[in-house]
């Protein structure tokens, strides 16, 4: 399937600032006359948000990486069918705060799910559909966790993954770098440590170049 508009995903560890950057990009693209749908994973549709509550809430669940991956893929399928694909079909740019690379980073590199198994699940729900461009907002997990757990956007109900041990966060960061190495034409790594305006300027410049705006 070739999209009528770009599908751009934003990835990164905790506290990398994706949500704020996406909000700013939406306004910037709309000022250029584009229709823009912003969304997030897990979530984005009623069904997928219900699954999100099960996955991200800090409760005493003992789910392993396989169980998480199955729930995440179910949420992702609903998100694709009811929001992402119809929006692209209407010619809307779609900016998603996380997508399948979060499963590869968190459940595979961060925990122990084999990458090939997660890729098989993804093929089952999405075929060969992929984002046109994936940004990784890269940040040292020490700084990211500090931002996530003390910042004004803190959501205490949704801290299941923040509470995994530190090596989990280091491994998922390394995983994102490995994924980018495997598909350098699709991924762009952005240093998320500088201030918000600086990061936004980098994102805008990359989008202008990639989509000839
Ligand atoms: P958020 O903090 O960016 O809103 O994302 C929710 C949490 O869910 C975050 O800790 C990352 C985690 N997550 C996964 O573990 N696997 C996934 O596939 C996705 C989409 C999110």
- At residue 96 the predicted structure's pLDDT band, cuts being 50, 70 and 90, is very high
Average predicted confidence (pLDDT) for the chain: 95
Residues 6+ apart with CB under 8 A from 19: 40, 97, 153
Give 141 Cα–ligand 1 centroid separation in angstroms.
15
Give 92 Cα–ligand 1 centroid separation in angstroms.
24
Q: Which ligand 1 atom is nearest residue 160's CA?
A: 10
Mean pLDDT of 178-187: 98
Residues 6+ apart with CB under 8 A from 70: 121
- Whether 59 shows a pLDDT value over 80: the answer reads no
Mean pLDDT of 109-113: 96
Residue having the nearest C-alpha atom to atom 9 of ligand 1: 161
- At residue 1 the predicted structure's pLDDT band, cuts being 50, 70 and 90, is low
- Whether 164 shows a pLDDT value over 90: the answer reads no
Mean pLDDT of 29-50: 98
What global pTM score does this model have? Answer: 0.97
Per-residue pLDDT of 113-126, as tens digits, reads 999 999 999 999 99
- Whether 62 shows a pLDDT value over 80: the answer reads no
- Whether 60 shows a pLDDT value over 80: the answer reads no
pLDDT at 154: 85
pLDDT at 152: 78
pLDDT at 61: 65
Assign 3-class secondary structure to the chain.
CCCCCCEEEEECCCCCCHHHHHHHHHHHHHHCCCCEEEEECCCCCHHHHHHHHHHHCCCCCCCCHHHHHHHHHHHHHHHHHHHHHHHHHCCCEEEEECCHHHHHHHHHHHCCCCHHHHHHHHHHHHCCCCCCEEEEEECCHHHHHHHHHHCCCCCHHHCCCCCCCHHHHHHHHHHHHHHHHHCCCCEEEEECCCCHHHHHHHHHHHHHHHHCC
pLDDT at 63: 87
Residue of 34 and 62 predicted with greater confidence: 34
Portion of the chain with pLDDT greater than 70, in percent: 97
pLDDT at 106: 97
Residue of 107 and 147 predicted with greater confidence: 107
pLDDT at 155: 86
Mutating to test ligand 1, I would choose from 56, 95, 147 the residue with most ligand atoms within 8 A of its C-beta, which is: 56
Residue having the nearest C-alpha atom to atom 7 of ligand 1: 56
pLDDT at 153: 78
């Amino acid at each position: 399937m070739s999209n009528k508009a770009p599908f751009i995903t934003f990835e990164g560890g905790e506290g990398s600032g994706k949500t704020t950057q996406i909000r700013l990009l939406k306004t910037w693209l709309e000022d250029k006359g584009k229709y823009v749908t912003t969304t997030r994973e897990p979530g984005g549709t009623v069904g997928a948000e219900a699954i999100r509550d099960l996955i991200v809430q800090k409760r005493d669940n003992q789910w392993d990486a396989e169980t998480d991956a199955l729930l995440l893929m179910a949420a992702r399928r609903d998100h694709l069918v009811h929001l992402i694909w119809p929006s692209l079909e209407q010619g809307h740019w779609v900016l998603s705060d996380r997508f399948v690379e979060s499963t590869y980073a968190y459940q595979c590199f961060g925990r122990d799910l084999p990458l090939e198994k997660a890729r098989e699940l993804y093929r089952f729900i999405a075929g060969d559909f992929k984002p046109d461009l994936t940004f990784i907002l890269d940040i040292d997990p020490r700084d990211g966790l500090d931002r996530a757990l003390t910042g004004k956007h803190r959501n205490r109900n949704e801290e299941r993954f923040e509470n995994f041990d530190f090596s989990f966060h280091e491994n998922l960061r390394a995983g994102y770098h490995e994924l980018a190495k495997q598909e350098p034409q699709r991924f762009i790594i952005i240093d998320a440590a500088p201030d918000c305006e600086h990061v936004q300027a980098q994102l805008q410049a990359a989008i202008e170049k990639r989509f000839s705006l």
